[in-house]
Amino acid sequence: MRENRSADPWSAFLAPSGRNDAVRAPGAAPAGEPGVAGYIEPGAEDACRRVLAQLRAANGPMSLEQIHHATRLGLLEVASAVDTLRERGLVAVEREIDEVVRLTGE
């Protein structure tokens, strides 16, 4: 059995050995093809809608942790959705005690 001796434990998780070359990570472009700029996975669009709906319902800023609990999305899904929404100019991320997400003037 092979042991992973990497100093970065995430490297083993993100790129496990023995992975089939024909299998791509979700959203990854096939080898030799450029990625599609602005492409969002189908599930990510739903996460964006849920995050926006939660921020509108809250009528104020929320931390990523609060959004995570309120939407029942995973923290990575919330972070990805917030990043996508920030790129679109729909939300702003500000640093107070924690990072908080607030709606911009849509």
CATH code assigned at 51: 1.10.10.10
Count of structural domains, the chain: 1
Half-sphere exposure of 51 (CA within 13 A, CB side): 34
Burial class (CB in 10 A: 0-12, 13-18, 19+), 100: middle
Q: Does residue 49 lie within any of the structural domains?
A: yes
Q: Does residue 72 lie within any of the structural domains?
A: yes
Q: At 103, which helix (H) or strand (E)? A: strand 99-103
Residue 97: which domain range? 43-103
Q: Does residue 3 lie within any of the structural domains?
A: no
Its sign, for the CA torsion 8, 9, 14, 20, is positive
CA pair distance 98, 28, nearest whole angstrom: 31
Q: Does residue 33 lie within any of the structural domains?
A: no
CA pair distance 6, 88, nearest whole angstrom: 36
Per-residue pLDDT of the chain (106 residues), as tens digits, is 555 555 555 555 455 445 444 554 444 444 444 444 455 566 788 999 999 999 999 988 999 999 999 999 999 999 999 999 999 999 999 987 778 999 987 5
Q: Does residue 93 lie within any of the structural domains?
A: yes
**pLDDT of the residue at 40:** 57
93, 103, 40: which is closest to 64 by C-alpha?
93
**pLDDT of the residue at 79:** 92
**pLDDT of the residue at 68:** 93
Residue with the two structure tokens 């492409």: 39
**pLDDT of the residue at 36:** 45
Q: Does residue 4 lie within any of the structural domains?
A: no
Helices in 5-92 by DSSP H: which ranges?
A: 9-14, 42-58, 64-71, 75-87
Q: Does residue 89 lie within any of the structural domains?
A: yes
**pLDDT of the residue at 97:** 79
Q: Does residue 20 lie within any of the structural domains?
A: no
